[in-house]
Structure 1
Amino acid sequence: MPEASAGKVWAKYEYGFGGSKVMATEMDYYQQLEVDRSCDGATLKSSYRKLAMKYHPDKNPGDAAAEAKFKSISEAYDVLKDPQKRAAYDQYGHAAFTNGGGNNAGGGGFAGAAFNDIGDIFETIFGGGGGGGFGGQQQQRGPARGADLRYDMEISLEDAFHGKQTEIEIDVSVGCDECDGSGAEPGTGVKTCPTCHGHGKVRAQQGFFVVERTCASCQGRGEVIESPCHVCLGEGRVDKPQVLEVEIPAGVDSGTRIRLSGKGEAGARGAPPGDLYIFIHLARHNIFEREGTTLFTRAPISFSVAALGGEIVIPGLDGAKHEIRIPAGIQSGKQIRQRGAGMPVLRGRGHGDMVVQIDVETPTKLSSRQKELLREFQETETGDESPQSSGFFSKIKEAWDGLAE
């Protein structure tokens, strides 16, 4: 049970292996970092950075107490920043990270919180003791690869048609220059992990089973940093703005994903970086709409052009003027397809089509002369000029006559 001593919270526990018992007293990790047990990761990191800067050996030369304090808070943060290790610590305290720890007084038990469910046991037994995982997968050894990142980019339809080379600026974790990504203060190194004694694994025995898993203190590396770097505080990476060149290929569409290998978040302590994925979004165009490689647009024409026929010009995204022939008597809603005037095929050859939908516009302002000409035209109509309307009203008349009978 925790007990108070000189105003500080300490964890007092018993652990043993094969029936032996050892009494140990360790200062509570949360107390060392001056945070509540319910704090989130951001609060934890902020408090650690503040304390690390305060007690760093470079700022306290020759102060052995400050150096010891710095090492203790670094150890505490190394455990609590990891969700799995933090959960183990919350349940078992320091015994979770002691080789053979846990309450083994009754003939040996699993090492504290190292094994919380039967899946962990099967993972080691059936995966083999040499690093294999359950189902044949390899257990992770060493620092984890950096996280993949996402960047959303909006481009114009013209840029999607032609392709472009551009630059983006992002804030991302990169390898620390001060320690060359090692996480160790320059001039210092690493030491053998006191938990696993350099093996990278810890073992616990239950009856005739010997269960082995990756050491939680050093993440399987067998080594721990002796004095964390004062710039990156042992992470081996720092946040910096980066300017990256991006090549947008012709034919990209909304949802197209461009991968920049190794441009994601840097891995901790020299681990490989993740990747950066750029997701493309097309801005709305004032003329065209896109569906795959096909471009759609609407072209209003006068009723005289619709009746007599003619030509209209549509400016294409390729910079050319596309002449669209309007056949005489065309109706609203008719679509005319221009082959090869659409979007280029992404990473392929050829182009899609341009589809022009015709909208016949009825004049709203007529001069006296125009009205006179239209009346003359109206007087000469026989019905053959507008077969659809003539046919429709003929059907209406037949239906009406049938009701009258």
Structure 2
Amino acid sequence: MADHYEVLGVSRDASTDEIKKAYRRLARQLHPDVNPGEEASERFKLVTHAYDVLSDPEQRARYDMGGGDSPFGGAGGFGGFNDIFETFFGAAGGSRGGRPRSRRERGQDALVRVTLELGDVVFGTHRDIEVDTAVVCETCQGSCCQPGTSPVTCDICHGTGNVQRQVRSLLGNVVTTQPCNVCQGYGTTIPYPCATCQGQGRVRARRTVSLDIPAGVETGLRLQLPGSGEVGPAGGPNGDLYIEVTVQPHEVFSRDGDDLLATLEVSMPDAILGTTTTIQSLDGPVDLEVRAGVQAGDILTIKGRGITPLRGSQRGDLKVGVHVVTPTRLDHKERALIEDFAKRTKAPAPKLAEFHQGLFAKLRDRFRNS
């Protein structure tokens, strides 16, 4: 077996620090990630094993006395591999680089509820919304420090944000890495925090958000405004702002997809003879012709007077269901005229007819509220 001192290139009276320096120098040259050759791999194993033995006082003493050594290092441990991780990754156990945390973090998303009228849904609307949220501190501009000062490197972790502790166990010397308690893992401390934001880099404030609400929205829909939410700690990126829409019920109109539904009360004479009337739609007056002989429950359609769809440009229709109003109080002459009309027309006796499921389904909300 090769002599461990010769493998590391040190004398037999070399100090612990000299052995460690020699091992690190060779490990950097021969580690498989750096030098993937087979010969380098074999030398790397020898170097590692030699260091495992000579870095442990008990094993080194036994080796110097000719007592041999364990192929796994002192007490069956893996101390050499810990040092390999420390050499290449900064800390044992795979804490790569020992990088400190960043104070700048993304802000939280915010949710605001907006109530609209049905008329706002037809063409869309513009709103200026007041939002109570976190904004960048104007005093420190997100630096968290008083003006004229800056963070300083932590004296405990020396800017790494981590501290290492070496614990001896049955597996050998185990090095653990934990966030520094002094700087909370940031690697720096703030001796003079900003008095306005208490060192947070942000403050609570009300701000106005301009919002264009598109046509066709409906209750429960959420609109997303990227980057309009809360600013993050230390002036970090803003979260998103979500606008949740609620559409108030209308006294006259109800919605069926992109169509609007309404009910038109028609007197019995107008239903018989027909008439033309003007109704007020959500975007202004519109003429509506009631044809002669219209029946209760008939639907009169006005094209293009419904709602503009959320994705598209062609508006829905305004559909008007006819409700024929039968007079309940007649004087003597009116009653005589109706009776004469009935005799002349010889109207059939009342009977059951086909149930118009489609018609009632379209107008169900309107009739329930009537």
Query: What TM-score bracket applies, with the shorter chain setting the length?
Result: 0.5 to 0.7
**Which residues in structure 2 correspond to 1:118-267 (within 5 Å)?**
129-130=95-96, 141-194=102-155, 196-202=157-163, 207=171, 212=177, 218=183, 220-267=185-232
Distance 1:348 1:329, change over 3 A: closer
Find the residue that maps to 2:186 and give its secondary structure.
Answer: coil
| Structure with more contact order per residue of length (Cα contacts < 8 Å, sep ≥ 6) | 2
Distance 1:214 1:339, change over 3 A: farther
Q: Using the alignment, how far apart are the partners of 1:301 and 1:285 within structure 2?
A: 21
Find the residue that maps to 2:211 and give its secondary structure.
Answer: strand
Aligned-partner residue type, residue 121 of structure 2: A
Q: Is contact 1:178-1:231 (8 Å) kept?
A: yes
Q: Which residue of 2 aligns with 1:73?
A: none
Q: CA deviation at 1:295?
A: 0.8
Q: CA deviation at 1:279?
A: 1.5
Q: Is contact 2:227-2:238 (8 Å) kept?
A: yes
Q: Using the alignment, how far apart are the partners of 2:291 and 2:180 within structure 1?
A: 77
Q: Is contact 1:262-1:275 (8 Å) kept?
A: yes
State the Cα deviation string for residues 281-330 of structure 1 (Å, max 9, x = none): 11221211113211111111112222333344332223241424435141
Q: Which residue of 1 aligns with 2:307?
A: 343
Superposed CA RMSD: 3.1
1:314 equivalenced with 2:279 (yes/no):
yes
More off after superposition, 192-201 vs 146-155 = 192-201
Q: CA deviation at 1:177?
A: 0.9
Q: Which residue of 1 aligns with 2:328?
A: 364
Distance 1:163 1:150, change over 3 A: same
State the Cα deviation string for residues 322-378 of structure 1 (Å, max 9, x = none): 4244351412x3333333221001142111122211111111232332111012123
Q: Is contact 1:303-1:362 (8 Å) kept?
A: yes
Q: Is contact 1:145-1:273 (8 Å) kept?
A: yes
**Which residues in structure 2 correspond to 1:56-71 (within 5 Å)?**
none
Distance 1:303 1:199, change over 3 A: same
Residue among 322, 333, 355 paired with 2:319: 355
State the Cα deviation string for residues 372-393 of structure 1 (Å, max 9, x = none): 1012123335234x6xx2467x
Distance 1:216 1:335, change over 3 A: farther
Q: Is contact 2:127-2:212 (8 Å) kept?
A: yes
Q: Which residue of 2 aligns with 1:87?
A: none
Q: Using the alignment, how far apart are the partners of 2:274 and 2:178 within structure 1?
A: 81
Q: Is contact 1:200-1:220 (8 Å) kept?
A: yes
Aligned-partner residue type, residue 349 of structure 1: S
1:268 equivalenced with 2:233 (yes/no):
yes
Q: Is contact 2:106-2:237 (8 Å) kept?
A: yes
Q: Using the alignment, how far apart are the partners of 1:359 and 1:217 within structure 2?
A: 78
Q: CA deviation at 1:149?
A: 0.9
State the Cα deviation string for residues 220-279 of structure 1 (Å, max 9, x = none): 532222221111111111112212222222222222323333222121112112122122
Distance 1:218 1:273, change over 3 A: farther
Q: CA deviation at 1:185?
A: 1.4
Q: Using the alignment, how far apart are the partners of 2:214 and 2:328 within structure 1?
A: 46
Q: Which residue of 2 aligns with 1:63?
A: none
Q: CA deviation at 1:217?
A: 5.8
Q: Which residue of 1 aligns with 2:298?
A: 334
Q: Using the alignment, how far apart are the partners of 2:96 and 2:264 within structure 1?
A: 70
Q: Using the alignment, how far apart are the partners of 1:252 and 1:148 within structure 2?
A: 21
**Which residues in structure 2 correspond to 1:57-136 (within 5 Å)?**
129-130=95-96
Distance 1:377 1:348, change over 3 A: same
Aligned-partner residue type, residue 144 of structure 1: E
User: Percent identity over the alignment?
Assistant: 35
Q: Is contact 1:157-1:283 (8 Å) kept?
A: yes
Q: Using the alignment, how far apart are the partners of 2:186 and 2:200 within structure 1?
A: 15
Find the residue that maps to 2:111 and give its secondary structure.
Answer: strand
Q: Using the alignment, how far apart are the partners of 1:147 and 1:391 within structure 2?
A: 63
Q: CA deviation at 1:197?
A: 3.0
Q: How many corresponding residue pairs?
A: 258
Q: Using the alignment, how far apart are the partners of 2:323 and 2:268 within structure 1?
A: 9
Distance 1:306 1:325, change over 3 A: closer
Find the residue that maps to 2:133 and give its secondary structure.
Answer: strand
Aligned-partner residue type, residue 237 of structure 1: R
